[in-house]
Amino acid sequence: MLDKLGKIWDFNSSIAVDSRMFREDIMGSLAHVAMLARQGIITREDGEAIRQGLEGILPDIESGKLVIDPGAEDIHSFIEAELTERLSALGSGEAGKRLHTGRSRNDQVATDLRLYLRGRCEQVLAALHALIEALEHQRRLYHGAVMPGYTHLQRAQPILYAQHLLAYQEMLRRDINRIQDAIRRLNISPLGSGAMAGTGYPIDRGFTAQMLGFDGYCASTLDGVSDRDFCLELASALSIIMVHLSRLGEEIILWCSWEFGFLELDDAYTTGSSMMPQKKNPDVAELIRGKAGRVFGDLIALLTLMKGLPLAYNKDMQDDKEAIFDAFDTVESCLNAAIPMIKAMRPKPERMREAAAGGFINATDCADYLVGKGMPFREAYQVAAQLVALCMEEGFTLETLPIERYKSASALFEDDIHAFIALEACVKRRNQ
């Protein structure tokens, strides 16, 4: 027996982590006891007493009337002990002891975890949709704003601010698809797998799966209790979300700098310096960027945890919850911080356009103009490059370079060249 007052007991206990699954544990037990009574494994009277007891425990925990004992081994044993104690006070103590009939802690834990993560997935999906809408809000407000697009962090071609944000919306839509796809594999019931080899009682696994909203139940009882690939898949999807949030955060940080000056964040999402009064630091964006590494670490922890485990259940797997819970907590906190920050951003279209004009990012269009007049592209490329060099030397942009200079570079240039290479025209010509 483990010493309940000793360090080994604390080391073995998981109540500090799994107590958040109390709702799911009660849901799973309600489905299990309904099945036991339906199958005649326990009496209907005992089943009804257990049901009423569990339904009384749930609101008491939610309201704080019943405090989860931090000295309990885990949430499952805490709820079962509380149920037995309550039913004993009513003269039905034996009924509480029948709850665990035909069930192991192994399939109970696996069921609770799937139920809990299914709910967390829905929360993340809702936050992803909200972030997409926040980006759409920005796109609608500043749809016509022209900015430089970049490759290698060098000004490349003119694009719309709305087009830039659309790229992140597409990333987030794929994130949604990944989570939705992972839910399909997550949403299979392990209940009835027992410790590993099922149970000798005439249980109905399909009934409990249906009651709990699962799409079916695990074909292999060993697999049902011993794999956590749904955690690995979700942690991977969450890590990809954080890659996208980190990239978006990095661009916001760059755009808020004096060197770019493309946008301003609301004061609610920045802080001043403790020493330098002129500073307005993009702390929220920086924290989002930094927390990506934490979620990546959770994924690596889970992969490492599972990589060498023989079938079936091993105690190592108790540590799965801390990593996957942290990944969900971190991603949700970052999404919930990003949504209002994005919505309140104030772009500076004039500065964006100034940077676009000063970067000669319509040089490709200048070359395309000549190609349209019959000049081979490689030759047109050289003419455009010479014009850019001339502009840099004499302080012009391609938009302000006099028409005479164009015509001296090539007789194919006509008076419509300035209209052709106007940044807005360049953007409009392309399929956005």
Active site residues: 152, 273
Beta strands at 154-160 and 346-347: parallel, antiparallel or unpaired:
unpaired
Tokens for 272, please give them: 């001043």
Question: From CA 41, how far away is CA 292, in angstroms rounded?
Answer: 49
Tokens for 158, please give them: 């003119």
Quickly count: other Cβ atoms within 10 Å of residue 72's Cβ: 19
CA 289 to chain CA mean position, Å:
13
Tokens for 204, please give them: 């109905």
Question: From CA 371, how far away is CA 419, in angstroms rounded?
Answer: 16
| Placement of tokens 């009384």 in the chain | 56
H-run or E-run covering 141: helix 105-141
Helix 161-186 × helix 229-256 angle, to 10°: 170
Question: From CA 237, how far away is CA 182, in angstroms rounded?
Answer: 8
Tokens for 190, please give them: 């392990």
DSSP 271: B
H-run or E-run covering 147: strand 146-151
Cα 291–Cα 330–Cα 320 angle in degrees, nearest 5:
110
List the alpha helices (DSSP H) in 6-104. 7-12, 15-18, 22-38, 44-63, 75-89, 93-96
The neighbouring-strand residues paired with 222 are none
Question: From CA 427, how far away is CA 256, in angstroms rounded?
Answer: 24
